[in-house]
Amino acid sequence: MLLAVAVLSAPAVAQSADSTSIPPNYWRRFAYGFTASILLHEVGHIATAVAVGGHPTFGFDKARPTIYSGINSRLEPHKQFLFSAAGLTMQSLIDEGILDIPHARGGAFERGMLGGGIGTTLFYLTIGRRGSVSDVDFMARTHALTVTQVTLIFGSVAAMHTIRISRDAHYANFFARPRADGLDVGLNLW
């Protein structure tokens, strides 16, 4: 899977460290990478459920699409923990692979993958931390780790990835968008 990410991101047009323009189709490729990261998060859950003998199903929880493990968490809390941890673990491993495996760096698809991994982790460690189908909350309910411990583990990995990205010239302007009169820093939701 990591090889596929490296191959898919290599042909994308790389932005040089001193570039202030956005290549054509940048945001589309970025969105593809972000979407791929989210889908691989869900694949991690599904593959883990199958590997530990669960029968994953799809459904909705308060209008949110949800993957259910098919594991009885009271009888097999360890298996439920593995299922719940699999999505964030998958994204962290993919981000680590992108940052470690030698390849042409900095393409829009790759940036989307990294953004998806870090963004999903931030979501789960902040507003998605508690809830009926929260991965973090489910991990804590198995009594293997507390919510705080899960937050520290996955948060520190995402923080290290963020630091590595900020120090790599191939990812110039990763957390800022060039404008004619300067840079936009932050996140635009609309």
* DSSP string across 54-101: ---EEEEETTEEEEE----TTT-HHHHHHHHHHHHHHHHHHHHHHHHS
| pLDDT number for residue 177 | 61
* 41: region left, alpha or beta (phi > 0 left; psi from -120 to 50 alpha): alpha
Residue carrying the six token digits 């090889």:
3
Global pTM? 0.79
| pLDDT number for residue 16 | 46
Tokens linked to 168: 């790599």
| pLDDT number for residue 83 | 95
> How many whole angstroms separate alpha carbon 130 and alpha carbon 140?
10
For residue 51, the tally of other CB atoms under 10 A from its CB is 12
| pLDDT number for residue 27 | 86
pLDDT per 10-residue tile (average), the chain, 190 residues: 46 47 82 96 96 94 87 92 95 96 90 94 86 84 90 95 90 70 57
Q: Are 98 and 18 in contact (CB under 8 A)?
A: no
| pLDDT number for residue 187 | 52
| pLDDT number for residue 185 | 60
Tokens linked to 22: 């956005």
| pLDDT number for residue 7 | 44
| pLDDT number for residue 21 | 65
| pLDDT number for residue 42 | 95
